[in-house]
């Protein structure tokens, strides 16, 4: 609920009133504003009025007027005047001339109820803030429409532009705009448009409401718009706009007022309360009082109250109602034709409301409060009576004090504290004191819901059930599910089901199809999580294939296979003809096992048998071999014989068995008497010693069985049969095949934005069967679920995996597949992150160039992505070739580089690429090739400003002067002192390509002087001078003596020191001491003269004196003491002053510091300074080229303690010349002069040309 608006402040001090005038006359409306510079606009029927012959608009300060001349009936309208946020409405009624009604009656009968009364007004609009636009009477003050005050909340300041309250006419459109700056936000902001308290308008988008969103990448500003189309009256109300981004939140309230469309002519205010709607609402509908009107027609006639045009003044119905008792309301409404009684009573109730000052409350509750869930809030009021009892209500119900609700009373203050606020505390609260009460609204803001457990990628087969599960930080939280950016809802087919279990949220998909593949996302107000779902067609796997059989007559042949799906049926074929079950042939299907059994095998049963699963494009084949054993009856002994179709060591004689399966060698033998059988492998006899090996001999057969064949069982087995008649031998080659070993060395070659290229080595052992291909799987590093990337074996050892999420770490593993099956998985690869290459670096340019090198600089790429930038690679190539040569080995972290060792005179092209984990970016290249040749640049010394005047250093200080210069090629630098070359033992000099350094580790007085610097390139040079002054402590003053003693005073006199420390003596420090104590006290400090009088000495004491010299460095190390002492005689001794002649202190003017010639730049203020002394104070006159300039405004003359300054304001070229300063007094005169050179300014283009 928005905060109630405060009463608007009007911009008008005087408002225009409704007027009535006759046709043909003129009328003047006047208004006065509070501010004289306020802009005023006049309107008629909501259209702006411009000044013309018909309508004259006059503005004089804060007085404004509108004059309408030559009135006609068409001028009868509703008018308004607008200033700032205030709008005042008024009306003009044009009545006909006195003879007009007679003509009207002559032309036709008057219709009493057709023409409305002449009291037009705007239809009433109930604004959300409780405002009413009352209908004005002819002499009543007009109604004013003002902008409601801003009641918006400012929580964290996310809005850069907030939606503003607005008005709209029924049927028209209006747009509210909110802007959010996302530059400092970590994720995209989420916005909600809410009407009233909780109605989310996102679900109401349609014909009359549209929500739009745009993003400006340059300014990083989101623009959200809510457009109301063809507004209706019920759209009016209070709205709120909320924006959230992680832990930030902002809210703004605004109002929408919907006005009825203005009629072309004025309307009766009572017409607004005649019901015409038929929408069945409580306050609307046809409410025709025509029957009552007919019954009371006699009453209307007798009272002559027919509603018709009359020249009598109109009756103010609202004035009558406000004074009448409530029992008369229905009668008055009936008399004046008001049929909407309920609307009339509502409006009358609001009109009677007056703002009364509360007698019980000194301070009321704020309109609204906001608190986060789980926090506490304190509501405070101040009452007038400190002893009064208050009552707190929540949604109209009394609140009882508990552990969560605490009542406090401190003096006049009353407090309600709510601890651990929950959503149940979001309500309206009221404080009642006697008959008065104040209310407020409490909004409880939920903390952001965080996703504790993320979604996991899943891969399922078609038709299976899918459950995507996540866990949030709080029970009962609302989440939003999306698939590929589209929100998922519960539909009639129950395709998607949403399940809540405490903090767990599950999205259930029954019977997944290929259309369900995609990226699924779960969102909360505090985060989101995404996972990928892959749905594959079910592929039938063969667990056990049928094997070739060799059987004898009358034996049983059984073909058996096992597949992965027990629901799959199949068909058996013999030599391409379907096998039908009969008395000897039996076909069974039990679970995943399919069997074809043939009893009492006959020769015609021999052939190729095939099993074809229904609905799958493959088959299983095997061969049935019929062994016909021919035994010739020989009455005598027969030698043994082994009957095998394939014997020897050829490929056809090899028996293949799958590792783990049972190996059974059934060898038919003959011989009489029955032969003995011996099985050998690698010349070793095989016996039943091993639990897996069984050797069995029956009549006519010898059977060799190995349970669970292993790789070491592979080899050539020999069977030897013997009897007294002889022996026979046969070799059987057994090959054991199995699944291959896992692939080796899985590594990631490269990564992309959503892909990677993985490579691996084939397995060390292929299992005895050639490798058909490989199957790959991937998973997120923090997940436990592996996703298969391909179902058909991939034949290569390099694979590009796609559809990954950028910035999320993954791992890969590989399976090898041969004819037997799939190997164990390989070790997982190193974790990697799919990232895209960065964008190209920007702003590549040449900073400097020489004969063999070039200096380049650039700026980082605009988009770097989720991976860190590893560095930059710089390359170059000759013009006309495509061979790019790296400038350095490896990468550089800096955004500038000097490429050295380049061939002089070649034209080279340069480019820079940024590298990250995904590889190099697109290159950025210079606009054109660059010729490697140094450009001649004139030498120029850039002398620092502090070195342009004398540099003063103390003895023992370090001097380190860095003076930059320019010039190409590298200039020759020469230092000299006082015209002599500078010795390396005197001072150290270090030079570079861009500056020179003068270094003196420990200064002495001998280092004082003028240092000259010369920079030379070929025959072009530039010079600069530096003056260095090394100062030290001064020596002591000389000849300190007592000149005279009188009373309590002693006159002293001394001479300046011989050594001033290489700088001016700034003063003297005079001290005294009593000879009894010899404690020294300062009499004068920084005393400038060489004589003084020490006063206020103590009678009867004897004093000695000493003096120190003071300069820039400090006091002299030793003082100068008086040889004699001064005794202050006691009282009564008369002092006889010595007679002496007055000293003449007059002195002719003398310049102690001359003017210095200068060179200045035009347009910059310049000063000329000198110092003068003389007694009496001399008169100073300035001259330019011997012309007196004392009265010219361009010059400013200053004099302070003998220092004379001439300031020239913004000199031009004509201000150059010879300047002279003349000082004159009674004792004489002195002059000093200098030259001033004014140089023109150098334009920026000229500077650039000089640099080139």
Cβ neighbourhood burial of 1185 (10 Å; 0-12, 13-18, 19+):
exposed
Residue 375 CA to residue 444 CA, distance in Å, equals: 9
Mean pLDDT by 10 residues, the chain (1252 residues): 44 84 87 82 83 85 87 85 80 74 37 36 36 36 39 57 88 90 81 83 81 86 90 87 82 87 47 43 39 39 38 59 74 71 69 62 87 88 88 89 86 90 88 89 84 88 87 85 85 76 89 86 87 81 82 85 84 86 90 89 86 78 75 61 61 71 80 82 74 78 81 83 83 85 90 88 88 92 87 90 87 90 90 87 89 90 83 92 90 91 89 87 90 83 90 92 88 90 89 91 91 89 92 93 90 93 92 92 92 91 94 92 89 69 85 90 90 91 89 87 89 89 91 91 63 56
For CA atoms 152, 154, 157, 158, the dihedral sign is negative
- Return the SS3 of 201: helix
Coarse DSSP helix, strand, coil percentages of the chain, rounded to the nearest 5 percent: 10, 45, 45
Cβ burial 459-475 (10 Å sphere, 16+ → b, else e) = bbeeeeebebbbbbebe
Give me the helices (H) in 769-813, please.
none
Paired sense of beta strands 1228-1239 and 1158-1161, if any: parallel
Cα–Cα distance list, 142 to 6, 21, 347, 612 (Å): 20, 17, 17, 95
Task: Judge whether 93 and 20 are in contact, CB under 8 Å.
Answer: yes
Report the pLDDT value the prediction gives residue 708, as an integer from 0 to 100. Answer: 79
Give the number of other Cβ atoms within 10 Å of residue 1206's Cβ: 21
DSSP state of 935: P
For residue 323, whether the previous peptide bond is cis, meaning omega lies within 30 degrees of 0, is: no
Q: Which residues pair with 818 in a beta bridge?
A: 771
Give the number of other Cβ atoms within 10 Å of residue 809's Cβ: 12
68 contacts: CB under 8 Å, gap ≥ 6: 26, 27, 29, 54, 55, 75, 92
SS3 sequence of 367-418: CEEEEECCCCEEEEEEECCCCCCCEEEECCEECCCCCCEEEEEECCEEEEEE
Task: Judge whether 1012 and 998 are in contact, CB under 8 Å.
Answer: no
* Two tokens, residue 984: 């390396």
886 contacts: CB under 8 Å, gap ≥ 6: 873, 874, 875
Closest by Cα among 8, 3, 58, 63 to 35: 63
- Contacts for 509-518: CB closer than 8 Å, 24+ residues apart: 509/465, 509/466, 509/467, 509/468, 509/533, 510/465, 511/463, 511/464, 511/465, 512/460, 512/461, 512/462, 512/463, 512/464, 512/465, 512/466, 513/462, 513/463, 514/462, 516/466, 518/483, 518/484
Cβ burial 406-430 (10 Å sphere, 16+ → b, else e) = eeeeeebebebebeebeeebbbebb
Closest by Cα among 408, 395, 381 to 442: 395
Residue 277 CA to residue 127 CA, distance in Å, equals: 20
> What's the predicted TM-score (pTM) here?
0.36
SS3 sequence of 35-76: CCCCCEEEEECCEECCCCCCEEEEEECCEEEEEECCCCHHHC
Closest by Cα among 1110, 1208, 1098, 1202 to 1163: 1208
Paired sense of beta strands 496-501 and 620-627, if any: unpaired
589 contacts: CB under 8 Å, gap ≥ 6: 569, 570, 595
Q: What counts of helices (H) and strands (E) characterise the chain?
A: 7, 96
Report the pLDDT value the prediction gives residue 244, as an integer from 0 to 100. Answer: 87
Torsion angles phi and psi, residue 1156, rounded to 5 = -115, 130
Torsion angles phi and psi, residue 136, rounded to 5 = -80, 145
As a whole number of angstroms, the longest Cα–Cα distance in the chain is 187
Residue 1113 CA to residue 367 CA, distance in Å, equals: 72
Q: What is the dihedral of CA 805, 808, 809, 810, to 10 degrees?
A: -30
Torsion angles phi and psi, residue 1030, rounded to 5 = -100, 120
SS3 sequence of 714-742: CEEEEEEEEECCEEEEEEEEEEEECCCCC
């Amino acid at each position: 609920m928005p905060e109630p608006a405060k009463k608007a402040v009007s911009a008008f001090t005087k408002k225009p009133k409704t007027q009535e005038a006759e046709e043909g006359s003129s009328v003047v409306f006047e208004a006065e504003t509070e501010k004289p510079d306020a802009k005023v606009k006049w309107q008629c029927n909501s259209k702006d009025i411009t000044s013309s012959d018909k309508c004259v608009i006059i503005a004089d300060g804060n007085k404004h007027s509108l004059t309408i001349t030559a009135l006609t009936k068409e001028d009868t309208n509703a008018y308004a005047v607008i200033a700032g946020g205030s709008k005042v409405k008024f009306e003009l009624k044009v009545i006909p001339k006195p003879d007009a009604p007679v003509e009207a009656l002559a032309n036709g009968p008057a219709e009493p109820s057709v023409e409305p009364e002449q009291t037009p007004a705007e239809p009433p609009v109930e604004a959300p803030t409780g405002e009413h636009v009352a209908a004005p009477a002819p002499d009543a003050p007009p109604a004013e429409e003002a902008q409601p005050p801003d009641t918006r909340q400012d929580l964290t300041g996310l809005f850069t532009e907030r939606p503003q309250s607005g008005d709209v006419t029924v049927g028209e459109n209006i747009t509210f705009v909110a802007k959010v700056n996302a530059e400092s936000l970590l994720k995209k902001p989420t916005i909600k448009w809410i009407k009233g308290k909780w109605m989310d308008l996102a679900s109401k988008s349609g014909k009359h409401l549209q929500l739009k969103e745009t993003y400006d990448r340059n300014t990083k500003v989101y623009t959200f718009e809510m457009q109301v189309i063809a507004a209706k009256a019920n759209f009016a109300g209070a709205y709120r706009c909320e924006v959230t981004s992680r832990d930030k939140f902002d809210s703004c309230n605004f109002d929408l007022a919907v006005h009825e469309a203005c009629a072309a002519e004025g309307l009766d205010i009572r017409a607004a309360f005649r019901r015409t709607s038929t929408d069945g609402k409580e306050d609307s509908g046809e409410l025709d009082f025509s029957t009552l009107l007919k019954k009371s027609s006699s009453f209307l006639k007798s009272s002559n109250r027919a509603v018709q045009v009359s020249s009598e003044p109109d009756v103010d119905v609202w004035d009558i109602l406000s004074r009448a008792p409530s029992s008369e309301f229905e009668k008055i409404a009936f008399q004046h034709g008001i049929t909407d009684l309920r609307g009339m009573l509502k409006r009358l109730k609001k009109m009677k409301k007056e703002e009364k000052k509360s007698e019980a409350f000194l301070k009321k509750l704020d309109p609204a409060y906001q608190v986060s869930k789980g926090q506490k809030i304190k509501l405070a009021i101040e009452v007038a009576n400190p002893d009064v009892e208050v009552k707190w209500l929540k949604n109209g119900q009394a609140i009882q004090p508990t552990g969560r609700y605490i009542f406090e009373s401190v003096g006049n203050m009353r407090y309600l504290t709510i601890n651990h606020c929950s959503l149940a505390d979001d309500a309206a609260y009221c404080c009642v004191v006697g008959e008065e009460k104040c209310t407020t609204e409490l909004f409880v803001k939920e903390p952001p819901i965080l996703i504790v457990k993320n979604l996991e990628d899943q891969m399922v087969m078609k038709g299976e059930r899918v459950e995507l599960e996540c866990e949030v930080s709080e029970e009962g939280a609302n989440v939003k599910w999306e698939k590929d950016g589209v929100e998922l809802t519960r539909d009639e087919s129950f395709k998607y089901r949403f399940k809540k279990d405490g903090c767990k949220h599950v999205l259930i998909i029954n019977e997944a199809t290929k259309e369900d593949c995609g990226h699924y996302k779960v969102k909360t107000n505090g985060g989101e999580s995404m996972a990928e779902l892959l749905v594959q067609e079910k592929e039938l796997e063969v667990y056990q294939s049928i094997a070739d059989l060799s059987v004898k007559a009358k034996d049983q042949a059984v073909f058996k296979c096992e597949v992965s799906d027990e629901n799959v049926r199949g068909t058996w074929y013999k030599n391409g003809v379907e096998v039908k079950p009969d008395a000897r042939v039996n076909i069974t299907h039990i679970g995943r096992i399919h069997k074809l059994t043939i009893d009492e095998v006959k020769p015609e049963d021999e052939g190729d048998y095939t099993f074809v699963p229904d609905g799958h494009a493959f088959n299983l084949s095997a061969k049935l071999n019929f062994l016909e054993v021919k035994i010739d009856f020989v009455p005598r002994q027969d030698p043994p014989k082994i009957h095998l179709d394939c014997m020897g060591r050829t490929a056809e004689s090899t028996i293949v068995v799958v590792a783990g399966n049972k190996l059974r060698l059934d060898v038919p033998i003959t011989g009489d008497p029955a032969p003995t059988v011996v099985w050998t492998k690698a010349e070793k006899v095989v016996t039943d010693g091993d639990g897996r090996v069984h050797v069995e001999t029956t009549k006519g057969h010898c059977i060799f069985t190995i349970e669970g064949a292993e790789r070491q069982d592979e080899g050539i087995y020999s069977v030897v049969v013997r009897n007294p008649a002889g022996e026979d031998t046969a070799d059987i080659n057994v090959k054991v095949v199995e699944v291959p070993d896992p692939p080796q060395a899985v590594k990631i070659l490269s990564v992309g934005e959503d892909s990677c290229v993985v490579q691996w080595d084939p397995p060390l052992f292929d299992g005895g069967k050639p490798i058909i291909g490989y199957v790959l799987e991937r998973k997120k590093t923090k997940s436990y679920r592996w996703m298969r990337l391909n179902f058909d074996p991939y034949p290569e050892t390099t694979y590009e995996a796609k559809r990954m999420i950028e910035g999320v770490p993954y791992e890969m593993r590989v399976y090898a597949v041969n004819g037997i099956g799939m190997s164990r998985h390989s070790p997982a690869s190193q974790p990697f992150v799919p990232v895209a290459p960065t964008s190209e670096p920007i702003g590549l340019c040449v900073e400097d160039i020489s004969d063999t090198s070039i200096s380049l600089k650039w700026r980082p790429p605009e988009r770097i992505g989720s991976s860190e930038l590893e560095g930059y690679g710089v390359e170059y190539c000759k013009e006309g070739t495509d061979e790019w040569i790296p400038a350095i080995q490896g990468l550089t972290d800096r955004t500038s580089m000097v490429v050295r060792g380049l061939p002089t005179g070649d034209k080279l092209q340069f480019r820079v690429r940024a590298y990250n984990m995904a590889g190099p970016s697109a290159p950025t290249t210079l606009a054109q090739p660059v010729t490697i040749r140094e450009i001649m640049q004139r030498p120029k010394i850039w002398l620092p400003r502090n070195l342009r005047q004398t540099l003063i250093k103390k003895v023992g200080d370090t001097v380190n002067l860095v003076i930059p210069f320019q010039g190409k090629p590298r200039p020759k630098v020469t230092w000299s002192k006082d015209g002599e070359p500078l010795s390396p033992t005197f001072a150290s000099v270090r030079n570079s390509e861009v500056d020179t350094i003068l270094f003196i580790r420990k200064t002495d007085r001998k280092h004082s002087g003028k240092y000259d610097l010369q920079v030379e390139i070929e025959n072009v040079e530039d010079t600069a001078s530096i003056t260095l002054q090394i100062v030290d402590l001064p020596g002591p003053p000389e000849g300190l003596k007592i000149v005279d003693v009188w009373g309590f005073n002693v006159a002293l006199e001394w001479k300046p020191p011989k050594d001033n420390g290489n700088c001016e003596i700034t003063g003297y420090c005079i001290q005294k001491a009593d000879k009894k104590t010899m404690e020294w006290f300062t009499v004068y400090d920084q005393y400038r003269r060489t004589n003084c009088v020490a006063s206020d000495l103590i009678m009867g004491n004897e004093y000695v004196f000493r003096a120190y010299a003071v300069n820039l460095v400090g006091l002299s190390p030793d003082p100068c003491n008086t040889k004699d002492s001064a005794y202050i005689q006691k009282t009564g001794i008369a002092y006889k002053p010595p007679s002496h002649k007055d000293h003449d202190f007059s002195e002719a003017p003398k310049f102690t510091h001359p003017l210095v010639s200068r060179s200045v730049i035009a347009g910059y203020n310049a000063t000329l300074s000198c110092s003068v002394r003389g007694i009496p104070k001399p008169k100073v006159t300035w001259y330019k080229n011997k012309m007196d300039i004392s009265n010219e405004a361009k010059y400013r003359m200053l004099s302070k303690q003998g220092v004379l300054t001439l300031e020239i304001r913004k000199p031009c070229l004509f201000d150059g010349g010879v300047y002279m300063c003349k000082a004159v007094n009674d004792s004489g005169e002195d002059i000093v002069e200098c030259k001033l050179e004014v140089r023109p300014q150098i334009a920026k283009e000229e500077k650039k040309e000089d640099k080139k």
